[in-house]
Structure 1
């Protein structure tokens, strides 16, 4: 980063921090009221207010980034979406910049995006509590070694997914999933022996559990492909104005037939059909990244 870019990044970061504090304070107070008064209708009404505050927060931050960085978003495929639906959003994961890009392009075009987050992120100052207040699902993943030592933990992540999805039934929501499970790097690409040129292998389990828990509510899959022509940036690159343009392709897909019910964990035939579907989706995405990168 050049010396000239530092002031822009500092200003952008500082204003986003101010916006975060301004929005997070009433958001956390409302969440406390929601927690203390356990009436179902009251909780739904407060959840709606919390989402409005979060949308204002995202809107302000998106305008700040757009005006201070000059990054141009080239987006195609938004026309067939609506704000009042329930969607499952699937996307490749290139950078921490993916999240502000997605929030910007989908702001009030589809319901508020809710991500599955690692359990450790609840300890992020201010943001962790804000995500908790907004019912973002926090997931605790157990390694194979841990499950071998403590078999009673097997299935706990599935139970957490089901509990999280149950909260999504009251208000329209866009359930966001970075299917690769982690950001792309060349080292991870080699370590995972990815069969794709530009992507890591998709992890089908989390998507399957969401579909089987919310399948009757979800109206469509929103398949998103993000490409950074200048290379994968960090969030500081975005704030400093070094990301000149981002290309985003969006397509709305029907829900996969025959995969919304059943037991993904224990039904090998269902698991194979689902993995075939998601791998086919990823193969198409890999070809699309190649085309968008030319």
Structure 2
């Protein structure tokens, strides 16, 4: 029964993907060819509408084929025409589907910073490109040591992406830990948080600096899986009993909205202290979501 269920779900997901990506790419091509900027901008709501429809179909498949309970907590004021920076912890690829289910058509379309290699994923890579998802190099310290010029490329890519986002409602998504939580990574880092890896502050700082006053608030999202960190197959196979989500809306500190994170050491220290404080609160939120006697996230 399970193989049949998975095969049916995969077919439905593939069919929905094709039915949405093809018109998405046609509109994107039209946008590129149009001669006037205002005509190109007029294509954006159509592109967003197609993407939201695609996510909506995935959400309906979630409801129809699983009994996974989604427990969402928080008092954030969500607006479909808002301008948000969304920060979340990261344990599983299921996180993305959870975020889309929670926020689709409640805030602007979530846009993620993606690894450049993901551009080559069939259909999806072109869809992300059409929706102006930023593609990043994410170079390792060894690569930067061999070629120091690489250090500024992701910063410049962030600035270019944020310039596009200034003129439209936007929700910029950042998994601040930079990688998925596992017990092994947690131990290697010596993370001071029980349920989280250490936050990487640079990407958040660059987005805030590039967007200026263009962002209205931070949506701080904590995602917890009481039964343990799942895989996508676990979701499709109906093996996730519950997902718990806490949403906190946070003001952007005025003194941290602008600053040279890369070259100003004093600013960088202040920013990291702020992020560490936010992460301590998130760790407490995770403990509350999981229950006092629950194992650390990812166990």
Report matched runs for 1:233-248 at 5 Å: 233-248=230-245
Q: CA deviation at 1:170?
A: 2.0
Structural mapping, 1:1-294, within 5 Å: 4-77=1-74, 80-294=77-291
> In the alignment, is the contact (CA less than 8 A) between 1:8 and 1:241 conserved in 2?
no
Q: Quickly say closer, same or farther: Cα 1:78–1:35, change in 2 above 3 A.
A: farther
Cα displacement string for residues 238-278 of structure 1 (whole angstroms, at most 9, x for unaligned residues)? 01110111000001111123011121111111111110111
TM-score w.r.t. structure 2 length?
A: 0.95
Distance in 1, Cα, partners of 2:201 & 2:149: 23
- Aligned residue pairs, count: 291
**Conserved 8 A contact 1:12-1:65:** no
Q: 3-state SS of the aligned residue for 1:250?
A: strand
Aligned to 2:296: none
Runs (4+) of structure 1 exceeding 4 A deviation are none
TM-score after normalising by structure 1: 0.96
Q: Post-superposition shift, 1:36?
A: 2.1
For structure 1, the residue ranges without an aligned partner over 5 or more in a row are none
Contact 1:122 1:129 survives alignment (8 Å) = yes
Contact in 2 for aligned 1:93/1:184 (Cα 8 Å): yes
Judge conservation of contact 1:114–1:176 (CA < 8 Å) in 2. yes
CA contact (8 A) 2:134 2:161 kept: yes
| Residue aligned with 1:189, SS | helix
- Structure 2 portions without partners, runs of 5+: 292-299
- Using the TM superposition, give the Cα deviation of residue 172 of structure 1 relative to its aligned residue in structure 2, in angstroms: 0.1
Which residue number in structure 1 is paired with residue 295 of structure 2?
none
Find the counterpart in structure 1 of residue 294 from structure 2.
Answer: none
Instruction: Give the superposed CA RMSD.
Output: 1.2
